[in-house]
Amino acid sequence: MLSSLSIKNYALIENLKVDFKSGLSIITGETGAGKSILLGGLALVLGKRADNSLVYDKAKKCVIEADFQIENYHLQNFFEANDLDYDSIVIIRREILPNGKSRAFINDTPVNLTILNDLSSRLIDIHSQHETLQLADAGYQYHIIDSLAGNEKLLEDYQRTYRELRTIEKELERIKINQAEARKEYDYHLFLWEELEKANLKPDEQEILEKELEKLSHVEEIKAKLSEIIGLSERESMGTLSQLSEMSQSLNRISAYSELYESLYGRLESLLIEFKDILGEIENENDQLVYDPGLMEEVDERLQLIYNLQKKHLVQDVTSLIEVRDQYKVKIEGVEHAEEHIEDILKEIRTIENQLKQLGGRLYQSRVKAIPEFISLMENTLKRLEMKNTRLSINLEKSKEFLFNGQDRLTFLMSSDKGKTYETLKKVASGGEMSRIMLAVKSILSDYSDLPAIIFDEIDSGVSGEVSNRIAEVMQKMSENMQVITITHLPQVAAKGHHHFKVFKKEVKTGISSNIKLMNEDERLVELAEMLGGSKLSESALAHARQLLS
- Domain layout of the chain by residue ranges: 1-123+452-519, 187-336, 521-550
Domain at 1-123+452-519, CATH class: alpha beta
Torsion angle of alpha carbons 450, 456, 460, 465, nearest 10°?
Answer: 70
Q: pLDDT digits over 192-208, tens only? A: 888 888 888 888 888 88
Q: Which helix (H) or strand (E) holds 379?
A: helix 338-384
Q: What phi-psi label fits residue 434: left (phi over 0), alpha (psi between -120 and 50 degrees) or beta?
A: alpha
Provide the residue-wise pLDDT of the chain in tens; the chain has 550 residues: 999 999 999 988 889 999 999 999 999 998 888 888 899 899 999 998 888 788 888 888 999 999 999 988 889 999 999 999 999 999 999 999 888 889 999 999 999 999 999 999 899 988 876 677 778 888 889 999 999 999 999 999 999 999 999 999 998 888 888 777 767 777 778 788 888 888 888 888 888 887 878 777 777 778 788 787 877 777 766 778 788 888 888 888 888 888 888 898 899 889 989 988 888 888 888 787 777 788 888 888 888 888 898 888 888 888 899 998 988 888 877 777 777 778 888 999 999 999 999 999 999 999 999 999 999 999 999 998 888 888 999 999 999 899 999 999 999 999 887 667 888 887 887 777 888 888 999 999 888 877 899 999 888 877 777 888 899 999 999 998 899 999 999 999 999 999 999 999 888 877 788 999 999 999 999 999 998 887 777 888 889 999 988 8
> Please, what is the angle between helix 186-199 and helix 152-184, to 10°?
70
CA 300 – CA 310 distance, rounded (Å): 15
Q: pLDDT digits over 315-366, tens only? A: 888 889 999 898 888 887 777 777 777 888 899 999 999 999 999 999 999 9
**Beta bridge pairs of residue 393:** 413
Sign of CA dihedral 152, 157, 161, 167: positive
Q: pLDDT digits over 420-453, tens only? A: 788 888 788 777 788 888 899 999 988 887 789 9
Closest CA to 196 of 80, 319, 59, 21: 319
Q: Which helix (H) or strand (E) holds 191?
A: helix 186-199
Q: Tell me how far CA of residue 335 lies from CA of 73, 179, 182, 189, in angstroms.
A: 56, 6, 7, 11
* Total length of the chain: 550
**Using an 8 Å Cβ cutoff, are 389 and 372 in contact?**
no
Q: What is the pTM (predicted TM-score) of this model?
A: 0.69
